[in-house]
Amino acid sequence: MGRYQERKIRKMGMNPDQIATAKAALFLVLRKSLADAGLTTVADDVLICPLCWKEKRLDELSLEHCIPGSVSGETFALTCTPCNNTHGSKLDSHLKGYQALTDALKGKGAVRVRMNDAGRRAAANMEFEPDKGIHFKIVGKATREDAWKSIKKSREAGDTSPFKVTMQLGHTIVGLKVGLLRAGYLLMFRRFGYWFASTPAAAQIRDRIMNPSAIVPDVMSLTGEFRDFPVSLDTDHVLIQADINGVRFIFVVIRLKRETESIHFAMMPLPHERQNEFFALAEQHAKHNPVMTFENIPPSAIIL
Ligand SMILES: [Zn+2]
C-alpha cells in the first residue's frame, strides 16, 4: 500500500477492520451486479475495475472516494489500486485546487503568488477580504531576506508604484472537468453498477477519463458548475433524471466543499436504445445553454 493510499484511508475515519468489511460488502454487491449485467469473467471471484476494465481480485481492489476526500467526498466505489493511486491522485488535486481558489475568492484562505516588485522577487499570500479588497502578505521563509526587507523599506517610505503578480493555480480547467467526469462516472457506477458501466457510452467516458489527451467525448459540454442550485445539499451528491429531446440521462450533482462549497454537474448516459445520440445532444445543448438552470424540480426526479 502506497503512502497516498494510507493517507486517504486515515481520512476516511475507518479502522482497517471496518475498511476490510466495507470492501468485502461492496465486492459482493458488485459481483451480483456483474452477473445481472450479463458480464462474464475469465477468473472466478474477480470484479472488472470500473476504470481500466481489467479483471481484479479482491486484494487488488481498494475503496476509492468517488468525490475526493480533500473536497469532502463521502461516497466510495471499488477500483483497482493502480487506478486509485495514479490518475486518481492527479485528478483529485485539480478539484482540491479549484475549491481552494474558490475559498480564497470568498475570503476564506489565501492563494500563493509570486511577486515581482521592480525586480525584487518574493513569495506572497494573496488574500481577499469582502470589504477591504485584495492584499498581499510576503511569506518570509520562502523569500530572500534582502528582497523582502528592500520591498518593506520602499513601501513604508511611500512607494505606490504597481508591481507584478503571478498566480500559481492548483488546477487547470481541463483537469477540473476530467476530475468531475471521473467523480460523476464513479457515482453512477456506485449507484447502478455494471448495468451502467457496461454500455458503449460509459466505455467512451471511461476512455476519456483514462486518457487525458483524448478530445472525445467533449468534456466541456458534459460537465459544468451551477451558479444557483435550488436545493441545499447535505450529502456529497444527488442524481437527477433529465432528458434532452427525449434522450434520458442523469445529472450527477457534485458538491465540492472545503471552507466554502461549490456545486457542479456531470451528465451521464443511461442505457437505452437512443444512447448513441447522447454525446451529440449534450454538445448541442451546451452550445445553446451556456448557463444551466433548474426550476421546479419534481421530487420524483431526484434519486438519492
Ligand atoms: Zn483499474
Query: What pLDDT is stored for residue 113 in this prediction?
Result: 87
d(CA 133, CA 105): 10
Give the pLDDT score at 24.
Answer: 94
C-alpha cell at 201: 457510452
Ligand 1 centroid – CA 224 distance (Å): 26
Residue type at position 87: H
Distance 288 CA to ligand 1 centre (A): 36
263-274 residues labelled b (16+ CB within 10 A) or e (exposed): bbbbbbbbbeee
What is the whole-number distance in angstroms between the Cα of residue 82 and the centre of ligand 1?
Answer: 6
Q: Which SS3 state, helix, strand or coil, does residue 147 take?
A: helix
Ligand 1 centroid to Cα of residue 191, in Å, is 18
What is the Å distance from ligand 1's center to 12 Cα?
21
Overall size of the chain counted in residues: 304
3-state SS of 103-116 is HHHCCCCEEEEEEE
H or E, element range at 165? strand 164-167
Name the grid cell of 1.
500500500
Q: How far is residue 239 CA from its own chain's centroid? A: 16
Q: How does DSSP assign 134-196, residue by residue?
A: EEEEE-GGGS-HHHHHHHHHHHHTT-----EEEE--S--HHHHHHHHHHHHHHHHHHHHTHHH
From ligand 1's centre to the CA of 210, what distance in Å? Answer: 10
61 Cα to the center of ligand 1, angstroms: 8
CA of 53 to the centre of ligand 1 (A): 6
Radius of gyration of the chain (CA): 23
Instruction: Please state, in angstroms and rounded to a whole number, the distance separating the CA atoms of residues 223 and 300.
Output: 23
Give the Å distance between the CA of 83 and the centre of ligand 1: 4
Spacing, Cα 49 to ligand 1 middle (Å): 5
Q: What are phi and psi of 172, to 5 degrees?
A: -115, 160
75: helix, strand or coil:
coil
Q: Ligand 1 centroid vs 206 CA: distance in angstroms?
A: 11
Give the burial class of 38: count Cβ atoms within 10 A of its Cβ; 0-12 exposed, 13-18 middle, 19 or more buried. exposed
CA of 91 to the centre of ligand 1 (A): 15
Ligand 1 centre from 194 Cα, in Å? Answer: 14
Alpha carbon distance 182, 178 (integer Å): 6
* Neighbouring-strand partners of residue 302: 240
| Gap from CA of 86 to ligand 1 centroid (Å) | 10
User: Assign residue 115 a region: left if phi > 0, alpha if psi is -120 to 50, beta otherwise?
Assistant: beta
Successive 10-residue mean pLDDT values, the chain, 304 residues:
52 80 94 96 94 96 94 94 83 92 89 89 86 82 90 89 84 92 97 96 94 84 84 87 89 94 94 92 81 57 56
